């Protein structure tokens, strides 16, 4: 069953204990990622476009898809009038598939939590889904993402319920706010990230304005 395969792949990425094993898990999953996550009713790469459209006027850019995976968000944003989109991911195999979608002007291999290959204030906004989750990017990765986002721009991202407290996200939110780097403009209620499976898997979307 395709759902069983998807659940096994999720166990593999959530169980990764180093960036290297996480990259290996995604390399193994890349070819079937889209169909298997679709079988679970994975919503986030498509739903995040609603928040992007709410805060970033169509045609403004550049935008960064941080942890773009196979690039599921890119074509939806392109259809909504966003043409200047870059993507980053830790997996070459995922980036290859993202590149085939013809929605990204630039794709870079990089890991959230380390230095990112763009200058200060480069992006109009960044968005990220399913990245701040179990065994994935640390909350500290938000510092670099904010650095490369311009003043008046937006940080739009989801955080999984299971890591929000244990991963120290509120502390990083507060650090950035107290440093005058951003301010909260919206947070959603907790909601399901899979429409079909995993009813207890919840995320929240946060939107900050960069200052």
pLDDT, one tens digit per residue, over 82-138 is 999 999 998 898 899 999 999 999 999 998 999 999 999 999 999 999 899 877 789
Angle ∠(160,183,82) on CA atoms, nearest 5: 70
Distances (CA, A) of 93 to 16, 80, 97: 17, 26, 7
Place domain 42-210 in its CATH homologous superfamily.
Vaccinia Virus protein VP39 (3.40.50.150)
Helices 19-29 and 33-40 pack at an angle, to 10 degrees, of: 90
Distances (CA, A) of 80 to 59, 64, 76, 90, 94: 9, 15, 6, 26, 23
Helices (H) and strands (E) in the chain, counts: 9, 8
User: Is the full-model pTM beyond 0.75?
Assistant: yes
Whether the predicted pLDDT of 11 surpasses 60: no
pLDDT digits (tens, 9 = 90+) for 178-208: 999 999 999 999 999 999 988 999 999 999 9
């Amino acid at each position: 069953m395709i759902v069983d395969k998807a659940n096994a792949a999720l166990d593999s990425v959530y169980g990764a204990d180093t960036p290297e094993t996480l990259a290996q898990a995604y390399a193994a999953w890349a070819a079937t990622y889209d169909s298997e996550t679709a079988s679970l009713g994975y919503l986030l790469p498509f739903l995040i476009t609603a928040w992007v459209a709410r805060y970033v006027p169509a045609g403004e850019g550049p935008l960064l898809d941080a942890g773009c995976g196979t690039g599921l968000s890119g074509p939806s944003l392109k259809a909504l009038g966003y043409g200047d989109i870059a993507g980053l991911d830790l997996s070459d195999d995922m980036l290859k598939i993202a590149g085939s979608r013809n929605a990204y002007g630039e794709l870079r291999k990089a890991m959230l939590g380390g230095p990112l290959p763009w200058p200060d204030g480069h992006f109009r906004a960044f968005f990220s889904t399913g990245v701040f989750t179990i065994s994935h990017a640390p909350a500290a990765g938000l510092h670099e993402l904010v650095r490369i986002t311009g003043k008046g721009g937006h940080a739009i991202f989801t955080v999984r319920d299971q890591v929000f407290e244990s991963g120290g996200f509120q502390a990083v939110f507060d650090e950035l706010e107290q440093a005058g780097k951003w301010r909260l403009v919206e947070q959603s209620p907790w909601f399901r990230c899979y429409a079909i499976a995993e009813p207890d898997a919840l995320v929240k979307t946060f939107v900050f304005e960069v200052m």
